[in-house]
Amino acid sequence: MEQDNVSPLQHFVVAKRTISAVFHQLLEFVRDCSDFVEETWKSEDLEHVAQEKQCLQIQVCSRKLTAIKDVLARRHMKVAFFGRTSNGKSTVINAMLRERVLPSGIGHTTNCFLSVEGTDGEHAYLTTEDSEESKSIETVNQLAHALHMDRNQDSGCLVRVFWPKAKCALLRDDLVLMDSPGTDVTSELDSWIDKFCLDADVFVLVANSESTIMNTEKHFFHKVNERISKPNIFILNNRWDASVLEPEYLEDVRKQHMDRCVSFLVEELKVVDLNKAPERIFFVSAKEVLSARIHRAQEMPETGDALAEGFQERLMEFQSFERTFEEFISQSAVKTKFEQHTIRAWQITESVKAIMDAINISSAEKKVFSLEEREALMDRLEFVQNQLNFLTEDIKDKIKAITEEMADKVSNAMAEEICGLSVLVDEFCSDFSPAPNALALYKSKLMAYVEERMVKNLDLHCSSSINGYVLSSQGDIMDTLRPLLPPAARCQLHLPNRKFSITYDLNFASLCEDFVEDINFNFSLGLTFLVNRFLGPGKAKQALSLLEQKLQVTSSSAPLGTQAQEELAMSMATGLVSLTSRASVGMLVIAGVVWRSVGWRLIVLSVSLYSLLYLYERLTWTNSAKERALKQQFVDFATQRLQAISHIISSDCGQQVQQEMVAVFARMCQQVDKSEMELETEIRRLSARIQRLESVQKHSKTLRHKATDLESQLESFSAQYLQTQH
């Protein structure tokens, strides 16, 4: 009884499913890796942690895997049947398929190869190489007819017959059976082999046990052996049912066939060891097996062939062939179809691992470098901040000291200028006229001249030395702060181009705005002058005003006596000489006293002399005398005012110096601030970069682990299905 055990062909089917799943994962994985490597390579802030060549390498891997995955999906086990026409190849295939799929008994109907493979559909159909059209075939007769109609096809073309898997268990397991036209009908063996045999896992030579293996058959297998390393060959001695006709020679004939077949496989082809060779040689009757199987499938009583003598043995031998063949083809196909791809997959994971390792190392190196760089920048930032705080106090003190020093310098220069003011005023020349308008013009010119000269002198004495001092102090500030700047900025550091010029804001016009000159004639022995001389200008004014009041009272209230008349006469006499002089009033009082004590002659003499002197002074009171008086009064006035504002001017100059120094210091501070900001930006950039590198490192490690996982899967696949170790 035939047993429906699990087919050995499942070995291939499961292996294919397993390796396809591994390749699917591998392809997804390599695509992930490709994206990761490309992104890492193109990322500018990572400075090419990954290389372009790695990117290309992994893309090539991805393309190869895609191609292999497609090839794997199409992979199937293929058995090719060869032998002379009418040896029973089609019958053997039909017996294996348990159904009349291929036409038999009519000779091979075409020169074409006929492959039979499963389809998931319900209907059988065929395709030919010259057309994409599928031709429906429901019965073997239709197929025979279709093939008959296609007799004109080229020799050596392929007709693919798709048979519903539901009808035939053997076809469910990715097996393709290929019938050939007959080794005796062609001379195009080489092209046949190239086209149909290179991917065959097993070759079955269907021989006729009624005769010996013919040379055409041997020649074909020699050719196959030349092209394929150690092809797997089975020999079916078909039509063994004929042996019952001469049972007495059965064992001898069998031995004879066996020896010849063994010799052919072992000695001629050298494809199998001597002890293993008998396992490849079977004595069967395909016709009987097919017939019995069809009967059983149709649940008909066993008749004819099934009842022939020795049928059960031949059936068992056919089943033995099938099982051995199935085990053999599935083992062999797994090895031939998947081994190379598994090795290739292994190489791909190895190269991906190498790339991930390289990226990991490169990102780790760059990370260390970036950490060191960031550390150095942070130290530098801390140093710059501390130094700036420390130096700022120092520089402020220096600026204060310089400001005071410069103010003192200007103050001393001012004192010298004030001393030399009379010389300056004397040197002024302009038309002088006592008329009010002309006098106002003269004074304004005088003030402008004195101011100009004084500013010029101050400039001469102070400016160049102050400027030099300011410049050198600014240079000192720059030198102090220069080390806090980055090297590139240090070179660009220069003192301001503009020359510092100090402004002396004397502003004589407003300073001497209230200067009022006194160029009226004043007799040197006049009362006003004398009082002025002896009492000082303030007290003299007071005394004179009291005296005037007294005289007014006397003249209005007292009765005029003789004495009084005399005094009045005397007063009138002296009033003739000087009606305007207040001094004469004083003189009148003194004259009255003297009149009584020294007598009139002496008085007349004195009065005469006094009058002469008055006359002299009055006549010499010219414009130039007035100008001199004005200049002297101006010198006195301006000296007083300049002394009062000297400290304001000098401290203003000190302020100007301070501003100039502070401006340079502020500019330097700005530069240092800018460099601090640049340092902070760079530190932030490096921190982000370190983070990115860490994530790249982590990702590359994860991908490497994934590659190792996939390698484990490949390893276990190899161990389970290929019996190999990587």
Residues of this chain that interact with ligand GDP (CB under 6 A) are: 83, 85-91, 104-105, 107-108, 238-239, 241-242, 285-287
Of 16 and 239, which CB lies nearer to ligand GDP in the complex structure? 239
Of 94 and 697, which CB lies nearer to ligand GDP in the complex structure? 94
Shortest reach from residue 37's CB to ligand GDP, in Å: 56
Shortest reach from residue 128's CB to ligand GDP, in Å: 19
Q: Six-digit token pair at 24?
A: 């699917």
Residue 476 and residue 398 in contact, taking contact as beta carbons nearer than 8 Å: yes
Of 90 and 658, which CB lies nearer to ligand GDP in the complex structure? 90
Of 7 and 90, which CB lies nearer to ligand GDP in the complex structure? 90
Shortest reach from residue 107's CB to ligand GDP, in Å: 6
CA distances from 401 to 392, 448, 468, 475, 669 (A): 14, 34, 16, 16, 20
CB atoms within 10 A of CB 11: 21
Shortest reach from residue 81's CB to ligand GDP, in Å: 8
Residue 503 and residue 656 in contact, taking contact as beta carbons nearer than 8 Å: yes
Q: Six-digit token pair at 16?
A: 């294919």
Q: CA-to-CA distance for 185 and 178, rounded, in angstroms?
A: 16
Shortest reach from residue 135's CB to ligand GDP, in Å: 21
Question: Which among 439, 454, 568 has a CA at the least distance from the CA of 511?
Answer: 454
Residue 222 and residue 216 in contact, taking contact as beta carbons nearer than 8 Å: no
Identity of the amino acid at 257? H
Identity of the amino acid at 419? C
Of 280 and 287, which CB lies nearer to ligand GDP in the complex structure? 287
Shortest reach from residue 239's CB to ligand GDP, in Å: 4
Q: CA-to-CA distance for 344 and 324, rounded, in angstroms?
A: 30
Of 107 and 536, which CB lies nearer to ligand GDP in the complex structure? 107
Of 283 and 665, which CB lies nearer to ligand GDP in the complex structure? 283
What three-state secondary structure class fits 513?
coil
Of 32 and 184, which CB lies nearer to ligand GDP in the complex structure? 184
Residue 140 and residue 102 in contact, taking contact as beta carbons nearer than 8 Å: yes
Of 291 and 578, which CB lies nearer to ligand GDP in the complex structure? 291
Shortest reach from residue 238's CB to ligand GDP, in Å: 5
Q: CA-to-CA distance for 18 and 712, rounded, in angstroms?
A: 13
CA distances from 442 to 5, 206, 501 (A): 141, 147, 30
CA distances from 588 to 11, 24, 207, 529, 581 (A): 162, 143, 184, 16, 11
Of 91 and 473, which CB lies nearer to ligand GDP in the complex structure? 91
Q: What long-range pairs does 328-331 form, CB within 8 A, spacing at least 24?
A: 328/202, 328/232, 328/234, 329/9, 329/12, 329/77, 329/79, 329/175, 329/201, 329/202, 329/232, 330/8, 330/9, 330/10, 330/11, 330/12, 330/15, 330/77, 331/11
Shortest reach from residue 317's CB to ligand GDP, in Å: 12
Residue 234 and residue 205 in contact, taking contact as beta carbons nearer than 8 Å: yes
Shortest reach from residue 289's CB to ligand GDP, in Å: 8
Question: Which among 19, 93, 1 has a CA at the least distance from the CA of 717?
Answer: 19
Shortest reach from residue 156's CB to ligand GDP, in Å: 17
Given the DSSP bridges, would you call strands 77-82 and 202-208 parallel, antiparallel or unpaired? parallel
Q: CA-to-CA distance for 552 and 593, rounded, in angstroms?
A: 20
Of 100 and 367, which CB lies nearer to ligand GDP in the complex structure? 100
Shortest reach from residue 144's CB to ligand GDP, in Å: 11
